[in-house]
Structure 1
Amino acid sequence: MKRILALGVLLASVWSGTTFAETLRFSSFEPPAAYVTSKILAPWAEKVAAASKGTLEIQMFAGGTLGRSPAQQLKLVEDGVADIAWVIPGYTPGRFDEGTVAELPFMVTESHKGSLAMWKMVEDGHFKGDYEKFKLLCVCVSTPAFIGATKEINEPKDLSGLKMRAPGPTQLAVLEALGAVPIGGITAATLAESISRGLISGSLIEWSASETFNADEVLTHYNTALLGATPMLVLMNKARYEALPAEAREAIDQFSGETFSDYFGKEFDAYVAAARERIEANYKPQVVEPDEAAVEAWKAAVAPATEKWIAAHDNGQAIYDAFGKALQAVEGAK
């Protein structure tokens, strides 16, 4: 009897022309009210669903409801627990390795231009391997990270011997080149506690991360030398994407790729600027803006990290040069 009823419902839907919307699970490790999740990812999902002609619903699972750690997000998509996720490749070293070129110092100057350049690297075939295993919705970067610390940092030598955190191997190598003691394995969620307990003296960070993860409450000094951006991805299980109805795939494609990277970068830059204003107003930290001479000193100090990255990749010099050209192309187009 149940099978007859189910068949009747199916036939009724076919005869009436009704289609059932596919539901996609979108995972974010951030709290639901955090800026990227609430103001970038969720609105993107709403636009895609609205354009799908009723074939698609996208449900946000924020705050780690599918997986709490940022390091879990990639596996959630690979295992089909999530269909889409916001992924920070630095938490899974060795994956999406070509994209760590964006972590090198003094290349990316802002999220918007950096994100467009990252997508251009995908389009031009410079990013392969893991990038080819997923449906790439957005390939982007943060604004550049800089020094956030509990003591004054005016020049590279001030970091000598300090325990400093970074999210991945490339930026840890930058800290090592600066004479700091690089500390990995500390996620953004535990950063403020690690600083307040004296386990580390600071981190490579940018303003939005400092605010989102409460590091602004314990960091008293910043030096804004551009020490490398954090690559980020919004990606989808490729098999799940390919199994969707044509209207659903078309809606996803409409708002993905360069369009999503452009949108993400603009929104991220605006948020970071506002976050800096709030941090300076609320906590009044000391902020050092390096002048031209100081920038040259920082560049000289971190040069070994760039050389190390190039040497560690089979086509490191080619990727480095291509990313520099992509950044220039984006700059010239604006």
Structure 2
Amino acid sequence: MTNFTRRSMMATMGAALATPALLSRANAAEITLRLHHFLPAVAPMQSKFFEPWAAELKEASNGAIDVQMFPSMQLGGKPPQLADQTRQGICDIAWTLPVYTPDRFPVAETMALPFMVKNAEKTSVVMQTLMDEFGEGEYSGMKTLAFHTHDGGKLHTRGGPVTSTADLQGLKLRAPNQATGEMLTALGAEVVFFPVTEMVVGLSNGVIDGCCLPYEVVPAFKLQELTSTTSQPAAGSRGLYCNTFSLVMNQRSYDKMSPDVQKVIDDHSGMALSQRIGKQFDEFEAFGKSVVEKQGNEIAEIPAETIAEWQELAAPIHDAWVQKLNDRGLDGAAILARANELLDA
């Protein structure tokens, strides 16, 4: 064997032996995904969901997917711009609320109507199903990863409990979204709209008497110290409202991935992820309630018959929403009927 042949064979063997190591290194953090959201880094949503989920993506892809967190709108802009930032590629993944841009994602907003919520887990499954069946076209330029909701809102007030329509008369309440504001107005409350970050000031200086929010929001804003009573629907009744959330990804970011990496994303999104997030929000809700109880605040029950009366008064809001869906070329009655069917199942 000539020296040339021997050197050629050794070079070939060396290349073959080096190939696995090269592939292993190349497979590490091949793709960096920027996840943008509006909550601070210390929020449970980041520590208990985003960070574990990112770690699972990295492990399942053998290190190919690295998710970088950008909380508190660190990439710029305001929360209502998150969906557009995802579509434009300013970020790769965003977590946002459809109600931040009213009427733009009407199917995704449907579950934010009054009395369209059981607990967060069940309602998140309903929302994901509704979006799979009716709403995928709403997020053009984006790959939808999950849709979910929080638990039903409660009335947190500085004064006494709210257990009847009479108790709402003239009560100044901060409303969480447009449809809930319409319902509270119809019930006799004086409704104001401002960002949740301004709610603390409003409660402190008496501009508002209370707010309509789930328990899970209480610890972050120390609402247990600013209010004395929480009024919640009787067990078995639907919640007053919930807000809806979307976790979306830039379509181009997904399309440029290899099929095996795309499969990792697919396997960690969809219905199972929606249910998982909903379940976590139920855990956040339980913790928030424990904070209210520890403070010694009164927790009152809104009787089931009162909730039934309020649902009847909210019917025109649902009818108007059906018409809004119809105006978009959708079957509004079918969408609302399907949502109610799934909630009651």
Shared fold, TM over 0.5: yes
Partner of 2:22: 16
What CA RMSD, in Å, does the superposition of the two structures yield over aligned residues? Answer: 2.2
SS at match of 1:24: strand
Correspondent of 2:142 among 119, 128, 134: 134
Contact 1:67/1:76 (8 A) holds in 2? no
Contact 1:188/1:209 (8 A) holds in 2? no
**Contiguous gaps of at least 5 residues in structure 1:** 1-11
Larger Rg: 2
SS at match of 1:313: helix
Alignment CA distance shift 1:96-1:14 (3 Å): farther
* Structure 1 position 280 matched with structure 2 position 293: yes
* Structure 1 position 188 matched with structure 2 position 196: yes
Partner of 1:175: 184
What displacement does 1:214 show?
2.9
Contact 1:137/1:257 (8 A) holds in 2? yes
SS at match of 1:127: helix
Correspondent of 2:307 among 282, 287, 295: 295
Q: Deviations over 1:5-31 (max 9, x none)?
A: xxxxxxx99993342521101112111
* Structure 1 position 102 matched with structure 2 position 111: yes
Partner of 1:271: 284
What displacement does 1:70 show?
2.7
Contact 1:108/1:114 (8 A) holds in 2? yes
Q: What amino acid does structure 1 have at the position aligned with 2:332? A: G
Q: Deviations over 1:40-92 (max 9, x none)?
A: 12211111121112221001111332247432322321332211111011111
Q: What amino acid does structure 1 have at the position aligned with 2:228? A: T
Correspondent of 2:316 among 291, 296, 304: 304
What displacement does 1:114 show?
0.5
Partner of 2:268: 255
Q: What amino acid does structure 1 have at the position aligned with 2:271? A: E
Alignment CA distance shift 1:174-1:133 (3 Å): farther
In structure 2, distance between residues paired with 1:15 and 1:290: 64
In structure 2, distance between residues paired with 1:114 and 1:223: 21
Alignment CA distance shift 1:61-1:170 (3 Å): same
Contact 1:55/1:247 (8 A) holds in 2? no
Aligned pairs for 1:200-219 within 5 A:
200-219=208-227
TM-score (norm 1): 0.87
What displacement does 1:232 show?
0.6
Q: Identity over aligned residues, as a percent?
A: 28
Q: What amino acid does structure 1 have at the position aligned with 2:274? A: S
Q: What amino acid does structure 2 have at the position aligned with 1:190? A: E
What displacement does 1:140 show?
0.5
What displacement does 1:117 show?
0.9
What displacement does 1:157 show?
2.7
Contact 2:124/2:149 (8 A) holds in 1? yes
Q: Deviations over 1:126-175 (max 9, x none)?
A: 11442344211110111011222222222123222333222322222222
* Structure 1 position 159 matched with structure 2 position 168: yes
What displacement does 1:253 show?
0.9
In structure 1, distance between residues paired with 2:257 and 2:227: 46
In structure 2, distance between residues paired with 1:69 and 1:286: 36
Contact 1:103/1:227 (8 A) holds in 2? no
Q: What amino acid does structure 2 have at the position aligned with 1:175? A: L
Alignment CA distance shift 1:167-1:293 (3 Å): closer
In structure 2, distance between residues paired with 1:16 and 1:127: 43
Alignment CA distance shift 1:134-1:167 (3 Å): farther
Structure 1 residue runs of 4+, over 4 Å off? 12-15
In structure 2, distance between residues paired with 1:273 and 1:120: 25
Contact 1:53/1:247 (8 A) holds in 2? no
Q: How many residues align?
A: 315
Alignment CA distance shift 1:229-1:72 (3 Å): same
Q: What amino acid does structure 2 have at the position aligned with 1:136? A: T
